[in-house]
């Protein structure tokens, strides 16, 4: 028996690959990893198109439970991942657990936000380390995203920032919220890594027909309504003249 890790794309139920769909329909059980990204469709939309019942899998079920891996020892199991399976590091662990227990493991790739942002005109190979912007809590005010922007900036590299989602709380971070968090860190760190004048590229619903991309100073994007999530934010590094020309279309 086998555990299939299947990327289902960035937008809706129709983004699944033919191979992925064939495998889903042949599996005994299908789980959807529901905490690392957001689709522009519902689970019921997926179920109708795939023709299979889908079990929503939260972080605890995927990362802290052996339910999915144990099931794959006896049956064919699919774990669906929004985007591409390797877009989130959490899925490396489940692969290693399968390897350790001798359970066959196969991956079906799909589109990832990490490459889809190439539509902005920024060259994908000029991106540095990708990071995320988490919601700060009372006793949790991480600065990693700011530090990585600064590191990439010093190397002339672009930074892709993935924005926090908390489906259990119905919270999905917006670009203005992320900019506010980064500006607040700047007010404390004062390293000029992310100021109100910093050029940013805000991206919403990349992969869908209704995507939105805007390039402007952080202070201007902070007041722009990008509409429905998912959102991500890019801080460009040094621009090639072709990249500079490309970004003009989004200003």
> Which whole number is the average pLDDT over 64-84?
94
| Whether 79 contacts 53, CB under 8 Å | no
Classified as helix, coil or strand, 73 is: coil
Label the pairing between strands 3-7 and 105-108. parallel
Q: What is the mean pLDDT of the chain?
A: 95
Q: What is the pLDDT of residues 192-205, one digit of tens each?
A: 999 999 999 999 99
Please report the beta strands in 88-230, taking only residues with DSSP state E, as ranges in sequence order: 105-108, 131-133, 159-163, 165-166, 171-172, 199-204, 212-217
Which domains are delineated in the chain?
A: 3-111 (3.40.1010.10), 114-248 (3.30.950.10)
Q: Is the pLDDT of residue 90 over 80?
A: no
Q: What local confidence, expressed as pLDDT, does residue 88 receive?
A: 76
| Whether 186 contacts 179, CB under 8 Å | no
Question: Scanning the structure block, which residue is given the tokens 């662990």?
Answer: 93
Q: What local confidence, expressed as pLDDT, does residue 245 receive?
A: 96
> Which whole number is the average pLDDT over 173-193?
96
Rounded to whole angstroms, the Cα distance separating 52 from 61 reads 20
- pLDDT over 90 percentage in the chain: 86
Q: What is the pLDDT of residues 34-71, one digit of tens each?
A: 788 888 899 999 999 999 999 999 888 888 888 999 99
> Which whole number is the average pLDDT over 117-127?
97
| Whether 202 contacts 172, CB under 8 Å | no
In this structure, of 138-142, 227-231, 245-249, the range with the lowest mean pLDDT score is: 138-142
Q: Please tell me the pTM assigned to this model.
A: 0.93
């Amino acid at each position: 028996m086998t555990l299939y890790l299947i990327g289902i794309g960035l937008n809706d139920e129709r983004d699944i690959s033919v191979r992925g769909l064939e495998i889903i329909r042949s599996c005994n059980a299908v789980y959807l990893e529901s905490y690392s990204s957001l689709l522009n469709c519902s689970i019921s939309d997926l179920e109708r198109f795939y023709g299979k019942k889908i079990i929503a899998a939260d972080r605890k079920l995927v990362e802290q439970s052996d339910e999915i891996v144990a099931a794959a020892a006896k049956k064919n199991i699919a774990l669906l991942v929004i985007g591409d399976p390797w877009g989130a590091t959490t899925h490396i662990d489940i692969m290693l657990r399968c390897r350790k227990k001798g359970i066959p493991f196969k991956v079906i790739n799909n589109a990832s936000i990490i490459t889809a942002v190439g539509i902005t005109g920024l060259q994908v190979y000029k991106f540095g380390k990708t990071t995320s912007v988490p919601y700060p809590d009372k006793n949790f005010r991480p600065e990693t995203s700011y530090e990585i922007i600064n590191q990439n900036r010093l190397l002339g590299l672009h930074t892709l920032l993935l924005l926090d989602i908390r489906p259990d709380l119905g919270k999905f971070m917006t670009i203005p919220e992320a900019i506010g968090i980064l500006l607040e860190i700047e007010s404390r760190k004062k390293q000029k890594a992310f100021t109100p004048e910093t050029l940013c590229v805000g991206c919403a619903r990349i992969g869908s027909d209704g995507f939105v991309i805007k390039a402007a100073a952080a202070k201007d994007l902070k007041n722009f309504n990008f509409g429905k999530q998912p959102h991500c934010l890019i801080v460009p590094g040094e621009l090639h003249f072709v990249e500079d020309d490309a970004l003009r279309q989004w200003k």
